[in-house]
Structure 1
């Protein structure tokens, strides 16, 4: 028997997140460069980000050729463009003097895949990069990460929006995010769910 899906959020009816949806208004334009392996991932947080930030643009690919359309689009924009990725040249939002009216590029993929995408897209170095100051530990307990400072793409965007404008209400972003996480945890067998909770406590 096939599963019934919500026509709005595209999640199965049993895990619909529409009751937690409240669009967020922001002058910041979010562009996601998504690795192909993330596009259909059941735990992909970008799906949720698009629901609460409808203006989010998602480009799927890996090489520079895959992002030709994005490169052309950015070349026509007058807003400052920043890549949200920590490196030896990145700055905090405050030090960069960035305001809310900017375009931020985030890379959606594991640390290894994101780094690989950076190497394959040297055009990104034309834009200054930002890193986040200390933020709370990731709430993405249902997805493992090798680095303790790892954040989901949704979390990284939310924290960047607040850094750009402290008045931004990101509670709706985390409301729908936490709803999805709880749905996933509830669907797990008890012993598997306990392992995730135990790992979270150890972290």
Structure 2
């Protein structure tokens, strides 16, 4: 089959990555959608460095490679890809990453937001019977919260209070009170929000 015939069968194609870039035989990852197929595929193929008609450097695809459905590629990558541990708060890494790796996505999210609650209580010295939104609203009350950053304009203090209580209620409570269909990526997105909030809590100065 000629190159023109192959290209006629392709709806779209985009390169998504490359291994050994600049080498003589780089391996390129491409997302390909064929007109006859309802799903996209990932093509992993070795290229060979050569030269064009005018002596310019060109990389030619070889027959060494394989192609499989994108959903299978995502399944493998989600399971084995390295997570950015240097970006995520160490408490989140300790409490949540093993749950993520074992597929316990709801539990990972709950533990992430539980860390927000326990860290806030410990830092403010709040009693054990103060928890959830009530605890966060007291700690970050825009007017007299013990952890409120009064250097910020009042509108931003209100915005942060809405951010932390909204994320806590929406992500933590939903996972606690009903079954949520989460996958690795959606769970990690929620955990990243918890990590951001946890860093803000730890950075907050105590108002005396």
TM-score computed with the length of structure 1 as normaliser: 0.21
Higher helix share goes to which structure? 2
TM-score computed with the length of structure 2 as normaliser: 0.20
Q: Which protein has greater RCO, CA pairs closer than 8 Å, 6+ apart?
A: 1
